[in-house]
Chain A
Amino acid sequence: MNSLIVLTNLDLLLAAMLVLALAGLAARMKLGVSTELLVAAVRTTVQLTILGLILKTVFTSSNGWLVAAITLVMLFVAAWEVLSRQKRKLHRRWGFSVSIIALFVSSFVITLLALLIIIQADPWYTPQYAIPLMGMLLGNTMNGIALGMDRLVQTAWQQRMVIEQRLMLGQTAVQAINDIRRDSMRAGMIPIINAMAAAGIVSLPGMMTGQILAGSSPQEAVNYQILIMFLITAGTGFGVVAVLSLISRRMFDERDRLRFDRLLQPKKD
């Protein structure tokens, strides 16, 4: 069982050749993704190598403050990533706080609950559990939050005439935005709902695959995968709800007027 096959640099180089070959082919056919492809491949190599080095030291030291510092950095980078995926730019400081709050709810709080109540490692912040869990949650809930936020702001902007017409007919701000809010909730939740529905039949989830490759028994891997799926679902859901209520509240003022000026950065020419 424990005859784990360790990957050498040569193994990775062989896999890298595939990406290089693809980039070469794309360049020849003028398909235009070659540069992006190579940059992303280099990024993933460098980022993950550095992460490996950091984790190695963190795992051996098992220092709670170090774990806290790393999760905070992850949180801020994820919030920045959510904002940069928005087609319409929110007011920077305000948009950043909204993303931080949503990710805090979706990842930080949920990870904390899972560590304290479900996994109960000793100490509870044991980095082998805390950091991968937080990473999985951030990476996945970030998607849902970014999608839900983008859908809400985009649709509300496109349908601002509809929203105003509904207000003019005496609807409240909540009534006027509710259809769009429901639609955005769906947009944010669909990826994880699909992932849950397809797991085990169409797709083998990445974490479970990794665990099995690393020598865990399939049942153990499955249990962890189910736990992660539920945590991601709950995290995404609460995170998207937080984003939707914060943004739709900001979109209207106390007299139920539609106020994109409070939400969006003014367009520069």
Chain B
Amino acid sequence: MINLQSLQIANYSPITLKLEAGECMGISGASGSGKTRLLRAIADMDERGGEVIVDGVVSQSIAASEWRKKVALLPAESVWWFDTIGEHFRFYNHYFSALGFSEEVMSWDVTRCSSGEKQRLSIVRLLESCPTLLLLDEPTANLDLENARRVESLIASYLADNQASAIWVGHSAEQLKRVSNMRFTMKEGVLNQITDARQVTDE
């Protein structure tokens, strides 16, 4: 279970919410509304107030690097620093094939990959450390419909298999309906639930 306890970002009002294991929360909103900042704050990449608790573990109680293995942030633009794809991974795993890559992907030159390929590969890389909470910042922005569907079903089966949760930031309302159990819009750092009545307090 994920708890955000009066998480305070910049001068926005604090956010408190709960997310059960296996659940996915969808967030949409105009750019600049604070979605990315919320994800970065949960991953402890920026200074913030309040607390985040994952399965009873308080973020400040463990090393930041351990926290980020549990709470994995997928940035909108993936970054690669070695020459080949394979150097960024421990070994070839079944997530690659789920997103349509055969084993030869490991020898690919990073500079020759399209932005869509990099985006799919970055999802594989994200899942490698087996995180409990996925923070996905527009994970299918560069993908065609078929590949976007592949990502959606991979994430769904990952959440179910690992009792993990996700926060999915995206622009397509239809996609968010498909992938998430509850949907929110964000405006100037404030979350508003779209349909059912889960607790969101803006103090």
Contact = CB atoms under 8 A, between A and B. Distances in A.
Contacts of A175: 65
B65 A256 contact: yes
Interface stretch (B25-33, B74-82, B91-99, B177-185): B74-82
Interface stretch (B2-10, B42-50, B142-150, B191-199): B42-50
A175 to B, nearest CB: 8
Contact of A255 (B64, B69, B73, B78): B64
B68 A167 contact: yes
B46 to A, nearest CB: 7
Interface string B7-21: 000000000000000
A127 B24 CA distance: 74
A169 B68 contact: yes
B72 interface: yes
Contacts of A161: 77, 79
Nearest to A176: B65
B43 A169 contact: no
A118 to B, nearest CB: 44
A182 to B, nearest CB: 13
B8 to A, nearest CB: 15
Contacts of A166: 81
Given A161-B79, A162-B79, A162-B81, A168 B43 contact: yes
In which size bucket is the chain A interface? 10 to 19
Contacts of A164: 45, 75, 79
Contacts, number: 54
Interface in B53-112: 60, 63-66, 68-69, 72-73, 75, 77-79, 81
Nearest to A261: B47
Interface string A142-180: 000000000000000001011011111111100100010
Q: Is the interface of B mostly helix, strand, loop or mixed?
A: loop
Contacts of B63: 172, 256
Nearest to B46: A257
Interface in A214-269: 253, 255-258
- Chain B's interface size range is 20 to 34
B192 to A, nearest CB: 27
Contact of A170 (B46, B69, B78): B69
A168 B65 contact: no
B163 interface: no
Nearest to B128: A169
B68 A168 contact: yes
Nearest to B47: A257
B187 interface: no
Pairs of residues from A and B, 10 with the lowest C-beta to C-beta distance, nearest first: A170-B69, A165-B79, A256-B64, A172-B65, A255-B64, A162-B81, A170-B68, A168-B73, A161-B79, A170-B65
Interface of B: 43-47, 60, 63-66, 68-69, 72-73, 75, 77-79, 81, 125-126, 129
23 contacts: A161-B79, A162-B79, A164-B45, A165-B79, A165-B81, A167-B64, A168-B72, A169-B69, A169-B125, A169-B129, A170-B66, A170-B69, A170-B72, A172-B64, A172-B65, A179-B81, A255-B60, A255-B64, A256-B63, A257-B44, A257-B46, A257-B47, A257-B64
Interface of A: 159, 161-162, 164-172, 175, 179, 253, 255-258
